[in-house]
């Protein structure tokens, strides 16, 4: 009856049995065996996958899973291990299955595989599990055989998976439990790997539904471990009530130190190659090989996915080729010829992209090309990767489609990337994915032409310069437009777009309350991009539009050369700021932002300030060379005035407030208001201003007297700037300038404590006060910074005790302190 089947598995090993003779005795079991997919077991002898985790890797996750599987009861009884394609889930579960099999805890397992017949569908899943139940709980065999004899057609495709599970697994085990009781140490864990490789989503959903009902009906000593990619339909199933209550989730990620494990794998494998490779001496492999820098680079490229690491090692370890040369091909330092070191990885990527509906492929590749060309090379001005442009909501705005359409189109790629909330960055799991997509030879029909993508992105950005949008889009245009123009394929369409852009119209744009617009935000990136673009006659086009722009600017700058806005202008172009930061609070510490100044800046100037709160939208460092030319030497004295002005403002430590969104790159928390010391800005600005200042007695004396607060002077940049300025001053004849010792000064505060009194009244209340200062604020602190002496009051002495009288009681109550 089963003449073509003679191999059975017993206790984790293959056993040969003859089932062709006595059909009466073996008909039920033989029929079960005939419908079993033996190759789907962890120890089937299929060497297409790695069979076990590399020694010393995946230690924590294996410990966690084995401890869970070894427990007497499971709460909840189903565990879902999920991770990106190529993350090593199959190897982890094969290792767990082997450990549990050795401990007699493995009830059964099934490893799906998309490209292997019998393992790419669920037709034999529950028969294969039932067969293993017979082998691992021998007492269950008569009950399972009886079930097959009662219904020999149970294996027919017309029978549902639920019926198979009920008749072949659930009912026999319950009958055994009632009749004899289950052995106390019986096997009890079922492992299902690669569920996403089962041939369609509906079948995968059905498998999960049946597994949940199975574990609910069985005694509480049984458990199921499932592994898959985090496909949306599988994730949705685990979100449903029944399965959600019965399961827990475990994500393969940074928590389990994948990078460290991959590094261990690389180091061990390379050492083995160096010692045992047959061609290691033809020519000799250099020492050390490879360097730690190369290993670290390979680890970064693997981005936590073991398939990259194993693919590299298989390629380098080819016994017919020199390993040093093959590693050079991987690193790009050797010409590959017809070699493709990443064949296995490319097969994985191609399989994922082939699952995309054909009518959606162009749209999907458009989204990916925008994402990759914007994010892979996209950094903010201080080198911190920009994440705003990788959110679904931003991509939808940029591509002019609905946000939900972005999410729908990327659903089939969830094994390669994660799409979470609309305002949350899309995460790409594989750092090597762009290498695949940007290589025509490797990606074939999924190839993304970088030059043409940059060309399209450049033209799209030029169009968006004239469209009302938010601050995030403005920052994107400022950062990325020059890059796109510089790296675009020079098409006729791009040349026409560049030549016809209206720079005056762009310069005339104003802020509509939804984001920063205008010449200082967009005109200069456009001009910079034109200058560096690949189009013919780019320099001529740039010169023409720059002349138009300069004529426009010269008229606007007249407002700043007539009044105190000159200081603001100079402040705005020094230095080339590394942070995209809001300056409203900091400006208020050093400049009086009056309504007149705001009106002049808005109506006649360059819009350095926006709105009544004086938000400093963006520094003008791109304008600095032209501004210096227009001022024609007038700025030298202005710089000295500004340096003295800022130095006086730095007499005491001060802070300003800004939202996290305004100080991107400084803080990680994006949902709150933060207090920042003014030195955040002044450590960059003040040295730049001071270096351009002339040597002048009042500034030299102020800096010599240590009047700049220690909170500023403790920063190396400011300390060095002062030292360099005073060193320059030694060549001038300023007799009698010696550093003054810090004295005591009253610092006024806007905080009211008790009845409001003037400084004059407070000082006169002290019998030994030698001089008076008039102020409208109450006194809060005594500080040592060298201005006014208050006789008997000494550093460290409690002022509230020394000063008597009703006018000062509970008003001055702090210790003097040096700043």
| Residues 6+ away with beta carbon under 8 Å from 469 | 397, 514, 515
Q: What is the pLDDT of residue 650?
A: 83
Write the pLDDT tens digit of every residue in 100-146: 999 999 999 999 998 888 999 999 999 999 999 999 999 999 999 99
Relative to beta strand 7-10, strand 13-16 is: antiparallel
Q: What is the pLDDT of residue 568?
A: 63
| Residues 6+ away with beta carbon under 8 Å from 173 | 133, 137, 140, 143, 182, 218, 219
Q: What is the pLDDT of residue 689?
A: 83
pTM > 0.85: no
Q: What is the pLDDT of residue 776?
A: 28
Write the pLDDT tens digit of every residue in 6-33: 332 233 333 333 334 443 444 789 999 9
Q: What is the pLDDT of residue 423?
A: 86
In 3D, which of 355, 112, 67 has the Cα closest to residue 228? 112
Asked if the 7-255 domain carries CATH number 3.30.2310.20, the reply is no
Which residue positions in the chain have pLDDT lower than 50? 1-26, 376-386, 511-519, 576-582, 611-622, 660-671, 740-819
For residue 128, give the H/E element and its range: helix 125-136
Q: What is the pLDDT of residue 151?
A: 93
In 3D, which of 604, 818, 572 has the Cα closest to residue 711? 818
Where do the domains of the chain lie? Answer: 7-255, 257-341, 342-448, 449-556, 562-729, 741-819
Question: How far is it, in rounded angstroms, from Cα 68 to Cα 71?
Answer: 6
Instruction: Name the CA radius of gyration of the chain, rounded.
Output: 37
Asked if residue 81 lies in contact with residue 227, where contact means CB atoms within 8 angstroms, the answer is yes
Asked if residue 23 lies in contact with residue 1, where contact means CB atoms within 8 angstroms, the answer is yes
Q: What is the pLDDT of residue 65?
A: 93
Question: How far is it, in rounded angstroms, from Cα 546 to Cα 540?
Answer: 10
- Give the three-state DSSP class for 818: strand
Q: What is the pLDDT of residue 254?
A: 61
Q: What is the pLDDT of residue 457?
A: 95
Q: What is the pLDDT of residue 747?
A: 38
């Amino acid at each position: 009856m089963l003449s073509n089947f003679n191999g059975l598995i017993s206790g984790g090993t293959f056993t040969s049995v003859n089932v062709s003779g006595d059909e009466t005795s073996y008909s039920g079991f033989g029929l079960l065996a005939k419908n079993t997919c033996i190759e789907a077991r962890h120890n089937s002898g299929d060497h297409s996958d790695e069979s076990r985790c590399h020694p010393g890797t995946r230690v924590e996750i294996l410990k966690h899973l084995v401890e869970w599987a070894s427990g007497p009861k499971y709460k909840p009884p189903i565990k879902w291990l999920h991770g990106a394609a190529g993350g090593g889930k199959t190897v982890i579960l094969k290792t767990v299955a082997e450990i549990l099999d050795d401990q007699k805890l493995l009830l059964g397992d099934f490893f799906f595989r998309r490209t292997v017949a019998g393992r790419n569908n669920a037709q034999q899943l529950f028969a294969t599990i039932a067969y293993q139940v017979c082998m691992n709980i021998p007492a269950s065999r008569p009950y399972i055989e009886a079930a097959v004899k009662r219904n020999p057609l149970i294996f027919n495709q017309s029978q549902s998976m639920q019926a198979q599970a009920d008749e072949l697994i659930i009912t026999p085990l319950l009958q055994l439990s009632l009749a004899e009781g289950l052995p106390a140490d019986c096997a009890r864990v079922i492992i299902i790997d690669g569920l996403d490789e089962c041939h369609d989503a509906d079948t995968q959903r059905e498998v999960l539904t049946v597994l949940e009902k199975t574990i609910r009906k069985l005694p509480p000593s049984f458990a199921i471990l499932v592994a898959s990619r985090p496909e949306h339909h599988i994730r949705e199933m685990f979100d449903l009530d029944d399965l959600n209550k019965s399961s827990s989730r475990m994500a393969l990620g940074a928590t389990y130190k994948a990078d460290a494990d991959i590094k261990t794998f690389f180091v061990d494998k390379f050492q083995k190659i160096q010692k045992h490779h047959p061609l290691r001496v033809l020519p000799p492999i250099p020492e050390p090989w490879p360097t730690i820098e190369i290993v670290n680079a390979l680890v970064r490229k693997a981005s936590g996915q073991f398939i990259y690491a194993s693919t590299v090692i298989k390629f380098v370890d080819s016994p017919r080729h020199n390993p040093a040369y093959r590693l050079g091909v991987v690193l790009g330092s050797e010409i590959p010829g017809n070699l493709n070191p990443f064949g296995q990885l490319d097969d994985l990527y191609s399989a994922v992209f082939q699952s995309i509906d054909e009518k959606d492929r162009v749209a999907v590749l458009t989204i990916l090309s925008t994402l990759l060309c914007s994010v892979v090379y996209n950094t903010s001005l201080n080198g911190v990767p920009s994440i705003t442009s990788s959110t679904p909501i931003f991509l939808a705005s940029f591509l002019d489609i609905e946000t939900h359409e972005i999410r729908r189109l990327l659903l089939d790629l969830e094994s390669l990337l994660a799409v979470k909330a609309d305002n949350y960055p899309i995460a790409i799991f594989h750092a090597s994915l762009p290498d695949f997509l940007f290589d025509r030879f490797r990606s074939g029909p999924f190839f993304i032409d970088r030059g043409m993508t940059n060309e399209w992105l450049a033209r799209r950005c030029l169009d968006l310069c004239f469209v009302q949008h938010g601050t995030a889009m403005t920052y994107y245009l400022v950062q990325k437009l020059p890059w796109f123009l510089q790296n675009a394929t020079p098409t006729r369409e791009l040349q026409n777009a560049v030549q016809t852009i209206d720079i005056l119209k762009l310069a005339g744009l104003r802020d509509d309350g939804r984001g920063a617009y205008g010449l200082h935000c967009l005109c200069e990136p456009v001009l910079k991009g034109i200058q560096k673009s690949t189009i013919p006659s780019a320099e001529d086009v740039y010169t023409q539009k720059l002349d138009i722009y300069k004529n426009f600017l010269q008229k606007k700058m007249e407002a700043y050369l007539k009044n105190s806005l000159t200081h603001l202008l100079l402040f705005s172009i020094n230095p080339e700021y590394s942070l995209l930061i809001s300056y409203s609070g900091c400006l208020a510490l050093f400049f009086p932002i009056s309504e007149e100044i705001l009106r002049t800046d808005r109506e006649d100037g360059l819009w350095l300030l926006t709105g009544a709160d004086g938000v400093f939208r963006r520094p003008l460092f791109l304008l600095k060379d032209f501004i210096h030319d227009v001022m024609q030497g007038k700025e030298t004295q202005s710089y000295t005035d500004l340096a003295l002005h800022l130095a006086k403002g730095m007499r005491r430590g001060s802070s300003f407030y800004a939202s996290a969104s305004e100080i991107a790159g400084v803080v990680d928390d994006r949902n709150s208001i933060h207090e920042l010391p003014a030195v955040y800005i002044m450590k960059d600005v003040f040295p730049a201003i001071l270096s351009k200042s002339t040597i002048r007695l009042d500034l030299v004396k102020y800096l010599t007297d240590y009047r700049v607060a220690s909170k500023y002077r403790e920063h190396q940049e400011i300390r060095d700037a002062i030292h360099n300025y005073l060193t320059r001053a030694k060549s001038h004849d300023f007799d009698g300038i010696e550093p003054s010792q810090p004295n005591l000064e009253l610092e006024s505060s806007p905080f009211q404590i008790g009845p409001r009194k003037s400084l004059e009244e407070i000082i006169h209340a002290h019998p030994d006060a030698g001089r008076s200062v008039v102020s409208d604020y109450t006194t809060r602190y005594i500080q040592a910074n060298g201005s006014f002496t208050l006789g008997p009051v000494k550093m460290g002495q409690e002022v509230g005790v020394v000063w008597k009288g009703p006018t000062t009681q509970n008003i001055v109550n702090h210790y003097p302190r040096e700043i």
